[in-house]
Amino acid sequence: MSTVRVSKTRRPRGTRGKHGVKLGPRFLRAFNFAAKKHAGQTRKASTTPYIAHLMGVASLVLEFSGDEDLAIAALLHDVVEDCGGAPMLKEVQRRFGVRVAKIVDGCTDSDTYPKPPWRERKESYIRHLRTADAETRLVSAADKLNNVRSILSDYREVGELVWARFTGGREGTLWHYRALLEEFLRHKPSRLIRELELAIRELETTASLISAHSSGR
């Protein structure tokens, strides 16, 4: 997570008004940029193009009151981590502005290659969330909600095999989302965080039930 300064005099683009957010050419450029950078990437252990996840996160951001800049940041939230590291953040800032770049940076748990060890990265990111601004937390929470819903969907299909897709395995992945939830709950509650809490609780319950059934208890 780098340091990106936000201009206080520049008015955010795509502000939500009484008729909702108007998505303009910048959003389309961001979509095309994300699709190009993530071309060939897929969701874990699937053939689903990775852009599907980015679209899902952007959809959640808009659903939970984000404006155009936040939706653009949602489309680009993984581009630094997965497609170029720190130099990519500079390109995002040049193309889409300081505000978008700041949020993308705040959603990135590593901008270096090779990445630090998994647990170290996750613990560092959770600490970062404690002081992250509300806009970054919104995009980050939307990302986590989309992830958890995908895990739940896959879990219902393949059961315990789903954990083999994750570096942290079963226990590490469950720890990760519990810890994230605890950090999000430190701040003012919102509909998005309540939805995330429900999804994580459902994942924990589902994992417990399937584990108990598999062990014959």
Residues classed as catalytic = 81-82
The token duo for 194 is 């309540």
Smallest CA-to-CA distance from 70 within 145, 1, 139, 129 is with 139
Please list the residues that pair with 20 across neighbouring strands: 17
The residue among 148, 171, 160, 145 whose CA lies nearest residue 211 is 160
Whole-number Å distance between alpha carbons of 73 and 76: 5
Helices (DSSP H) in the chain: which residue ranges? 25-37, 51-63, 68-75, 79-83, 86-96, 98-106, 118-129, 134-158, 169-184, 191-214
Residue 94 tokens, joined? 């040049």
> 187 — phi, psi (to 5°)?
-100, 180
Q: Are 96 and 105 in contact (CB under 8 A)?
A: no
CB hemisphere CA count around 65 (13 angstroms): 9
Torsion angle defined by CA atoms of residues 9, 10, 12 and 14, in that order, rounded to the nearest 10 degrees: 140
